[in-house]
Amino acid sequence: MPSERSAVDRERRAAATAVLAGLRDQGQLSRAKVRQVAQELGAGERTVWRWVSNVAAARGKAGGHRRWFEVTPEDIAELAYWQGNVAAFHRALRERDPSAPSLPTVWRAVRRALTPGQLAGLAEGEEARREFDTYLVRAPSHRNQVWQADHNELAVEVLLPNGRVVKPWLTSFIDAFSRVVCGWAISEIPSQESVFAALRVAILTEPPHGPFGGVPAAIRWDRGKEFLAGAVTAAAKELAIDARPLPPYSPYLKGTVERLHESIEVMLLAHLPGFTHGPRELGGRPIDETAPLLTLDHFVELFANFATEYNTVHPHASLHGATPIGTWRADTTPLVEVPRARLSYLLLARKTRLITKKGISMSGVQYNAAELVGLVGERVEVRYMPHRDESVEVFYQGAHLCTAWVLDAIEHEEARRLLARRAEQARWLARQHHAASQKRRARFATMTEPRPSSHSEPGEEPHTSRSLTPSRSLVDHSVIPAHMVRPLSQPISDGDTE
């Protein structure tokens, strides 16, 4: 692309040239007037005389031909064919018409016909064209008017407990008015659970959260499947939040959270080992490839410190040098707060687990509670806070069952309650068996008493021994034939056969 020339403003040039041409038609044009116009327009006298001559020549031509080269709609389509390459378009133009103007003339015509955004769009597509667009900025007027939320894969590698190396994902909620990061969650992969966790932290104002928070009037997030999940949207609407996804391919509509991602990379990630956007060797390998990586737990701790500093210490140019917490406190808009107990069951990450003899297993950690006794083999819904594994909330058949505690940290009183529950269940079963036995005895009492014998004389007590009761067999027990019986005292003779 040729460099910009010091061209005269076209409207001033056209007006001045028209006046001089009119003076020439009247025979009143003088060299002094041409010199005066040339000095004011910053052009040479010969150039001004040529402009006047071109006007006269154009008037004498028939057919209304254009005075200079202009780009037609057909030329723009041809330029799009060459993907915005003006030089290639000029070569094709010369092949069709050897008398076509020079490349600088074509460049000037293209600039007159197309905006920089249109030219970039022809060369690189819609995304490049949008870089030249302007947008309506509707700044919020008070805190909690609108929050922005997003997922972002952080440009740093960390070490998981099982030895795997991953780039963690950040889920964040930021107040568009004060730039306060209200809530965040870091996970191995973006999920519905991380959205629940970050939103719950963002709303809570009780220590260790706050002082910012509360229920926002609206939340705008991208079209990620984690945000579009029915449970997330339902939870937000239950709190009367206007939660809606933004149109696709519109990051400019959540510029506040996008700017936060840039600040995180510059202010935190760039100084950590495992930063993936750092300098590299000629072959593409990171300069500090052998540096030990941070564990995920340590990285979460560093990010928590960064978030606190970002909210309370870091001045923002968009806030005229003020800090987010200062802007938040300067606004007097009342907060809509929700007690922690009300959010304990609403905005928690959720998973389905099977109750075993050891209780409930979550990420290798065992949880137990007295209410789980008797439910081994049942599936329950477990709701929990990521990065906080001391307890989980257990739901059974759609209702809250109990709070289960990690076995290593279970209190003595809770352990005694569990053992007492087991003993109580054993006593309950014993009571049920005893009640069933009593009912069985009462129901069959008349059938367990001995009946009177049919051979007893009137007034004679019936025999109670089974050996003396009459036989109920239908076989006729007659006398045994003599040939079937051999007295035991009679010896066997030689003639007899056995």
Return the pLDDT at 482.
63
Looking at the 3D structure of the chain, how many domains does it have? 3
Higher-pLDDT residue of 359, 5: 359
Question: Within this chain, do residues 119 and 235 fall inside the same structural domain, yes or no?
Answer: no
Band of the pLDDT at 136, cuts 50, 70, 90? low
pLDDT of 106-122, one tens digit each? 999 999 899 999 999 99
When the pLDDT of each residue in the chain is averaged and rounded to a whole number, the result is 81
pLDDT of 206-236, one tens digit each? 877 778 899 999 988 877 666 666 667 777 8
Percent of the chain with pLDDT over 90: 27
Tokens encoding 129: 């064209």
Q: How far apart are CA 313 and CA 308, in angstroms?
A: 8
pLDDT of 320-344, one tens digit each? 899 999 999 999 999 998 887 777 6
Last residue of a domain, one of 388, 416, 444: 416
Higher-pLDDT residue of 359, 286: 359
- Domain assignment present for residue 336? The answer is no
Question: Within this chain, do residues 210 and 62 fall inside the same structural domain, yes or no?
Answer: no
Return the pLDDT at 487.
57
Q: How far apart are CA 148 and CA 442, in angstroms?
A: 72
Higher-pLDDT residue of 482, 258: 258
Return the pLDDT at 347.
65
- Domain assignment present for residue 490? The answer is no
Tokens encoding 375: 């439910």
**396, exposed or middle or buried, with CB in 10 Å at 0-12, 13-18, 19+?**
middle
Residue 53, pLDDT above cutoff 70: yes
Return the pLDDT at 68.
65
The segment with the largest mean pLDDT, out of 7-21, 147-161, 401-415, 431-445, is 147-161
Instruction: Tell me the residue range of the domain where 200 lies.
Output: 147-330
Residue 273 CA from chain centroid, whole number? 26
The answer to whether 139 touches 256, Cβ cutoff 8 Å, is: no
Return the pLDDT at 110.
92
Question: Within this chain, do residues 166 and 315 fall inside the same structural domain, yes or no?
Answer: yes
Return the pLDDT at 6.
45
Last residue of a domain, one of 284, 303, 330: 330
- Domain assignment present for residue 425? The answer is no
Q: Give me the residues paired with residue 275 across strands.
A: 156
Instruction: Find the angle CA(343)-CA(347)-CA(350) to the nearest 5 degrees.
Output: 130
Question: Within this chain, do residues 161 and 305 fall inside the same structural domain, yes or no?
Answer: yes
DSSP state of 356: B
Higher-pLDDT residue of 10, 317: 317
Residue 288, pLDDT above cutoff 50: yes
The answer to whether 457 touches 463, Cβ cutoff 8 Å, is: no
Q: Residues in the chain, how many?
A: 498
The answer to whether 156 touches 276, Cβ cutoff 8 Å, is: yes
Residue 428, pLDDT above cutoff 50: yes
Question: Within this chain, do residues 87 and 173 fall inside the same structural domain, yes or no?
Answer: no
Count the Cβ atoms, other than its own, within 10 Å of residue 402: 18
Q: State which H helix or E strand residue 437 sits in.
A: helix 412-443
pLDDT of 80-113, one tens digit each? 999 999 999 999 999 988 888 899 989 999 998 9
Once rounded to an integer, what is the mean pLDDT over residues 172-190? 91
Question: Within this chain, do residues 120 and 165 fall inside the same structural domain, yes or no?
Answer: no
Count the Cβ atoms, other than its own, within 10 Å of residue 19: 14
DSSP state of 364: T
Return the pLDDT at 206.
81
Once rounded to an integer, what is the mean pLDDT over residues 367-380? 90
- Domain assignment present for residue 5? The answer is no
DSSP state of 489: T
Last residue of a domain, one of 392, 416, 440: 416
How far apart, in Å, do the first and last CA atoms of the chain sit?
Answer: 132
Residue 293 CA from chain centroid, whole number? 25
